Structure formats: C-alpha cells, structure tokens
Amino acid sequence: MGISIFYAYPLFYWLLDPIQFTLCLLKQMPLKTESLLVKATLLFSSSLTVMAGATIAPSLPAMRDHFAATPNADYWVRLVLTVPALFIAIGAPFVGTAIDRFGRKPLLALAVLLYGLAGASGAVLNDLGLILVGRVLLGLSVAGVMTTATALIADYYVGAARVQFLGFQAAFMGLGGVVFLSFGGFLADVNWRMPFFIYLLALLIVPLVVLVLPEPNRTLDGQMLGVDATNVFPWHIAGLTYAAALLSQVVFYLIPVQLPFYLKQLVGANASQVGLAIALATLFSAGSAIAYKQVKARLSFMGIYAIAFLSMAVGYCVISFATTYALALVGLAIAGTGLGLLTPNMNVCLTSVVPASFRGRVLGGLTTAFFLGQFLSPIVSQPLSGMVGLDATYRLGGLLMACMGAIALLLGWRWR
C-alpha cells in the first residue's frame, strides 16, 4: 500500500522531503543510462547554465535606464548579468567535493529548484540590490547544476560515447542560448522584467531529475574501467585547462556584456536585434560542438584548442572593424564556431585523465575557472573600453585569443 501511494503521488512526496524521496526512489530504479529520457534530462539541465546569463542580456540597456537614478547604475546593471558567475566560481569547488562524497542526484534536484525560484525573482523585485541578491542565489544553483550534470555524463558514458555526448551537451547549451536569447530579446522589447520569467521553466525539469536520473555506482564504474583512485592527480593538465578556460571566458563574455552597447552605438540596434546577434554566435557554437566527435577523431586536444582560439581571434577582429550590423554578425558567427569546440574539448580532456574518484572535484574546478572568467570580464572590459573604446577592446580580445592559439600550436608540436 505504501509503495503504491509512493508511485501514485511522487511529486507530493518529493515536495515533503526531496532528499529522502530521491534516496528511496534510487532503491527501486535500475541504471538505464541509454534511455532517451535520461539523456534529455541531462541536456535540458545543462541548458540552464547558458540561460543563467544569456536570457537577460538584451534587457541591460533598458534596465540601466530604469535604474538611472542609482549611483553607478551602469556598473551595477552589468553586474546583474555577471555576479552569478562569481558565485558559481565560489560554489563549484564545494559542489564538486560534495557530489564526490555524497552522490550526484539529490544536489542536482535541489539546485534546479533554487535556480527557477532565484532566477525569476528579478521579475518582481524593485530594488537593484535585492535583484543582485537573487542573482547570487542563482549563481550558487548554477554551480550545482553545471558541475553535477557534467559529472553524471562522465559517470554514465565512456570512450567515444562520452566524447559524443559532451559534444551534444555543449551543442544543446548553444541551441538553448539561441532560443533563450531570441525569446529574451523579444520580451525585453515589451518590458525589461519579462525575460526573468523564463527562469521558471527550470521548475518543469525538477520532476525529471527526481524521477528519471539514476544515481551512478561510481565505485563499480571505476573498477569496470580499470581506474585506480590512487593515481597521481594530473595537476599540470588541470592547471593549463583552468587557465585557458578563465582567459577564454574573459574574452567570450565581451559578447553578452558589451555587445548590446556596442551594437546600439554602432547601428542603433534594439533589444531584439541584440538578442538575435548573440543568438547567432551561440547557434554556430552549437554547430561546431555537434561536430566535436568528428573533429576529435582527427585532431589532438591541442590541435582543437589552436583552431578554437584562432577562430575566436578572427571573429573578434571582424567585430572590432565592423561598420554594419551584417558584418558584426559575420564576426559573431566565426567567433561562435571556435567557442563551440572549447567546452567539450576541456571536459573530455579532463574526464579522460583524472581518476573517477576525483571527477566531481576536477569538474568543479573547471566550472570555477569558466565562471570566474565571466565575472572578471566586465571588471576588466568596462574601464578598458572607457579608455580605448569598445572596438579596440574587441581587437585586444582577439589578440589575446591569437596568442593563446599560438601557444596551443607550440605545445601541440612539443608534446606530439
């Protein structure tokens, strides 16, 4: 009788005690990682990470106008977009440690729930400081979602299947960015608060996380793969990957943070045009991520890094010299193509070389590097653009990517 009620009213029991419900459900549920529903849940959960910042990017100019009376409004409004990144960076190492010790699924369910509630808070709050508090909570939830979802993918799949699925994950995040940015742009033309309501979509994913995703047996997985948990942690590879992630995200976030203002200055673009422009970059990013498995079959990790960084360099230079909206779109497409190769390449590289027992922690470190770079981007770019202009700022970003591409080529040649 108790079991039948348990299955008849799963959401009711989950709301009463989500952690206990999840643990109870796991005892009843076999591991079926090839299920289409499992894969869809992982992909939808992963798409939340790009939605965290991209959704409200088109609202920034109107939000700045609304809070014009607030001292330093220009700076604080940009932080509304990027402050989640700081708290993702702070929270991710703790999340990685927690999921390695206590399991993946309960934390993911709670993180997705917090994501929906904290993200939507900006739609109703009237104080810029309180909106920033909501964005802080959003950042902590994204730390849980991104680290845990990627760790589950690495737990569920191995070899070529993992390479392919991590490429799909990056692609789905890119496609999610296309949808959310485009939708967010149209909503921002109605009212700058409207895009915040999009975060409520996360609440639809919570039941899927609870009911569909199995908790992996990571001890058994490690034995099956012949992974020795006592292996020396590859600090040099992790360190280089973290550095590359941080710097690339500082440059990448020039697009959502500064492009709305750059396009408005360049051609008087409205929120819809800005949303579509950023969405184009994420669309091309998704396309190259889908092709990652085929690219990886032909090139080394360093070869892919070189192509990705050099593509971003070319794209940013085109943006910096653009005189029309169409030419700026060309630069965004080229830069997006390079960006789409970076995330799966970093995830596959790290999960291929670290012991299974360290997987959550190393992915937590990568999440920290990614989002610390995003947080630092406006802190670096805002005074820089004030001194040299937005066009020159994009050129300098392209130059940094060119230098990183050259370093990747040199390391690839030395390590071949």
Judged by DSSP in three states, 193 sits in: coil
Measured CA to CA, the distance from residue 284 to residue 29 in angstroms comes to: 38
Contact 56, 181 (CB under 8 A): no
Q: Residue 277 class from Cβ within 10 Å (0-12 exposed, 13-18 middle, 19+ buried)? A: buried
Which of 54-58, 178-182, 389-393 tops mean pLDDT?
A: 389-393
What's the confidence (pLDDT) of residue 222? Answer: 47
- Residue 24: band (very low, low, confident or very high) from pLDDT cuts 50, 70, 90: low
What's the confidence (pLDDT) of residue 226? Answer: 43
Contact 305, 296 (CB under 8 A): no
- Tell me the backbone φ, ψ of residue 68, rounded to 5 degrees: -60, -30
Above 50 in pLDDT, residue 268? Answer: yes
What's the confidence (pLDDT) of residue 22? Answer: 53
What does the pLDDT average to over 60-83?
Answer: 83
Where does 29-158 have alpha helices with state H?
A: 36-54, 60-66, 73-102, 105-120, 128-156
Where does 226-324 have alpha helices with state H?
A: 235-252, 254-267, 271-290, 292-296, 301-321
Above 80 in pLDDT, residue 30? Answer: no
Residue that the structure tokens 């992630």 belong to? 245
Give the tokens for residue 54. 């991209």
What's the confidence (pLDDT) of residue 396? Answer: 96
Phi-psi region of 35 (alpha: psi -120 to 50; beta: other; left: phi over 0): beta
Above 90 in pLDDT, residue 9? Answer: no
Residue 147 makes CB contacts below 8 A (sequence gap 6+) with: 92, 95, 96, 99, 360, 363, 364, 367
Residue 134 makes CB contacts below 8 A (sequence gap 6+) with: 118, 119, 121, 122, 125
Longest dimension (CA), the chain: 71
What's the confidence (pLDDT) of residue 20? Answer: 55
Q: How does DSSP classify residue 123?
A: G
pLDDT tens digits along 100-118:
888 888 899 999 999 999 9
Contact 385, 290 (CB under 8 A): no
Above 60 in pLDDT, residue 361? Answer: yes
What's the confidence (pLDDT) of residue 369? Answer: 92
C-beta pairs of 31-36 under 8 Å, 24+ apart in sequence: 31/214, 31/216, 31/217, 32/214, 33/156, 33/157, 33/214, 33/216, 35/212
- Angle between the N-to-C axes of helices 325-353 and 159-190, in degrees from 0 to 180, rounded to the nearest 10: 140
- Residue 218: band (very low, low, confident or very high) from pLDDT cuts 50, 70, 90: low
What's the confidence (pLDDT) of residue 34? Answer: 77
Above 90 in pLDDT, residue 400? Answer: yes
Better pLDDT: 34 or 147: 147
pLDDT tens digits along 191-213:
989 999 999 999 999 999 988 88
What does the pLDDT average to over 372-381?
Answer: 86
The CA-CA-CA angle for residues 222, 301, 349, to 5°, reads 25
Among 16-20, 45-49, 142-146, 405-409, the range scoring the smallest mean pLDDT is: 16-20
What does the pLDDT average to over 298-323?
Answer: 94
What does the pLDDT average to over 270-278?
Answer: 82
Above 80 in pLDDT, residue 287? Answer: yes
Measured CA to CA, the distance from residue 72 to residue 383 in angstroms comes to: 13
Taking the complete model, does pTM exceed 0.85, yes or no?
no
Measured CA to CA, the distance from residue 143 to residue 91 in angstroms comes to: 6
Measured CA to CA, the distance from residue 260 to residue 278 in angstroms comes to: 9
Residue 329 makes CB contacts below 8 A (sequence gap 6+) with: 277, 280
**What is the share, in percent, of the chain residues with pLDDT greater than 70?**
87
What does the mean pLDDT of the chain come to? 84
What does the pLDDT average to over 331-351?
Answer: 92
Above 50 in pLDDT, residue 55? Answer: yes
What does the pLDDT average to over 325-337?
Answer: 95
